[in-house]
Chain A
Amino acid sequence: MRFYEFEAKQLLEKHRIPLVESRLVKTADEAAKAASDIAGPVILKAQAIAPGLAAASVKEASDAAGAKAAATELLGIDDGGRKPKGLLLEARPAGEAVYSLSFTYDGTSKRPVVAAADMAGKIDDLGDSHPDRIVRRHFSALYPFSDYIAKELARSLELGGNDLKQMTRIVAGLARLFLKYDLADLDITSLVKLGDGKFIVRDVEADLEIEARHRQRPMLDELGFAKEDLRQVREPTPFELEGAKIDEEDIRGIISPIAEFDGNIGLVIGAGGGSLTLTDAVRKHGGRPANYAAIGGNPSVDKARRLTKLVLSKPGVDKIAVMSNVVSNTRADLVARGVIKGIIELGFEPADKILIFRVPGAWEADAAKILQRYGIEYCDRTVSISEAARRAVEKVG
């Protein structure tokens, strides 16, 4: 879940990370006043999260009039069907040197990692263009972050003296913040050393691990994050809002993310990346998914029941395909119970509504017995994901 930059900066400020002077403004007049207060060149950033807006959402202005004109333009941009959440107006101090930092998880070593470069930009991009300028250090997600790791990283950037101290303090502070708030990514794309030797953070991007939103609720409340706000790239539909509500109301398992499409095959899918693969497989075989809804983490019977009802209630959806990768912690029998219960509560025969049920893995023997009782064929892992999708598409016609 992407934070707006002003929110990310609130978190950084709370952790005493030095930041460039900035103000959040809502109107062009406020922008002009803020620019006049700052008295110098300013940068205006539309608070938007839709992808592809990086260039369109930032403008520079040298005075209040310029700021007002830029603000008028920026406040009109389309942020995936929404208006920007305001503008972040910032002073633009010149720096002696610029650095970038990035905190994320290294999927290969399965540990958090911090990367740094002695130039501005996103580390991902710099990794392609200037791989020799990047230094990295892994750290633990289980043990408290040690300043020593931050110091090693700063030293690798060939910093010494007061610069080393300041960079160490900033990196350590950010690492602790990254861990504390369950962030998935934290990018400081511009960390500037000012003429007086002080370091300040200029540009920030931060993403919260979506599954952490329940336990991070106090922090999200503090930032004014509404419970139903999943920061999707466009405004959620009523179907998606209802799916989010079902997920929110029962902490057992997950059914997110849920997205609505315009197809006719309802999908109740999941397990270890299986949902993406299954959606692709349905499309590959010529099917048109009506939705995407990853179900996993051992959902309750009730959660599977409510999701099934939601998907089958979507206009244009007559049947559902219940498919997953091989499950281990999710139980096939509980999913089967929930799906059948949901269908029966809608007044239908399960055999008329289930195109295919392929949830192999934990408790599959019980799932098979449940399905058999309702006249539904159970597909185990000998039916591949692609074959399961093909059969579903073929049946829907």
Chain B
Amino acid sequence: MAMFIRVDVDGSVVEKSPGLAGKLVEVCPVKIFKLGSAPNSVEVVEANVDECTLCDLCIQASPKGVRVVKLYE
């Protein structure tokens, strides 16, 4: 379980944006996202969440679909 970071994904936003799921997987440097089993979906890889570098690339890819929360703030 991640202790420092939480990543929230709005599945409905990802689902409505073809290619976004793949984009999230592609941009994350620490592999926090993986493609979900349903089409146009992603899953958060919990084991990698604390590796988040806060680079914001996922948020840039989907400002409305992804939220990164610092649990220490």
Residues of A within 8 A of B (CB): 300-302, 331, 334, 337, 340-341, 344, 366, 369-370, 372-373
Residue of B whose beta carbon sits closest to that of A302: B51
CA distance A370 to B3 in the complex (A): 10
Our pick among A331, A340, A369 for the contact of B3 (Cβ within 8 Å) is A340
CA distance A284 to B3 in the complex (A): 37
CA distance A83 to B30 in the complex (A): 43
Instruction: Report the minimum CB–CB distance from B12 to chain A (whole Å).
Output: 30
Q: A366-B70, A369-B72, A373-B72 are in contact. Are A337 and B53 (CB under 8 A)?
A: no
Our pick among A300, A302, A337, A372 for the contact of B4 (Cβ within 8 Å) is A337
B56 at the interface (CB under 8 A from A): no
Q: Which residues of A contact B50 (CB under 8 A)?
A: 301, 337, 341
Q: Are B73 and A301 in contact, with the CB atoms below 8 A?
A: no
Q: Could you say which of B50, B53, B72 has the most chain A C-beta atoms within 10 Å of its C-beta?
A: B72
Residue tally, chain B, CB below 8 Å to A? 10
Instruction: Report the minimum CB–CB distance from A367 to chain B (whole Å).
Output: 10
Residue of B whose beta carbon sits closest to that of A368: B72
**Beyond A341-B4, A369-B72, A370-B72, 6 extra complex contacts between A and B, CB < 8 Å:** A334-B51, A334-B53, A337-B50, A341-B50, A344-B3, A370-B4
Residue of B whose beta carbon sits closest to that of A337: B4
Our pick among A301, A370, A372 for the contact of B51 (Cβ within 8 Å) is A301
CA distance A341 to B71 in the complex (A): 14
Instruction: Report the minimum CB–CB distance from A362 to chain B (whole Å).
Output: 11
Which B residues between 23 and 52 are near A, CB-CB below 8 angstroms?
30, 50-51
Q: Which residues of B contact A369 (CB under 8 A)?
A: 70, 72-73
Task: Sort A-B residue pairs by CB-CB distance and give the 7 closest, nearest first.
Answer: A370-B72, A373-B72, A337-B4, A301-B51, A369-B72, A301-B50, A337-B50
Q: Which residues of A contact B51 (CB under 8 A)?
A: 300-302, 334
Q: Which residues of B contact A302 (CB under 8 A)?
A: 51
Residue of A whose beta carbon sits closest to that of B3: A341
Residue of B whose beta carbon sits closest to that of A340: B3
A-B contacts, 21 listed (Cβ < 8 Å): A300-B30, A300-B51, A301-B50, A301-B51, A331-B53, A334-B51, A334-B53, A337-B3, A337-B4, A337-B50, A340-B3, A341-B3, A341-B4, A341-B50, A366-B54, A366-B72, A369-B70, A369-B72, A369-B73, A372-B72, A373-B72
Instruction: Report the minimum CB–CB distance from B70 to chain A (whole Å).
Output: 7
Q: Which residues of B contact A334 (CB under 8 A)?
A: 51, 53
Residue of B whose beta carbon sits closest to that of A305: B50
Residue of B whose beta carbon sits closest to that of A334: B53
B48-73: contact bitstring with A at CB < 8 Å (1 yes, 0 no)? 00110110000000000000001011
Q: Which residues of A contact B4 (CB under 8 A)?
A: 337, 341, 370
CA distance A344 to B73 in the complex (A): 19
Instruction: Report the minimum CB–CB distance from B71 to chain A (whole Å).
Output: 8
CA distance A202 to B51 in the complex (A): 51
Q: Which residues of A contact B73 (CB under 8 A)?
A: 369
CA distance A373 to B3 in the complex (A): 11
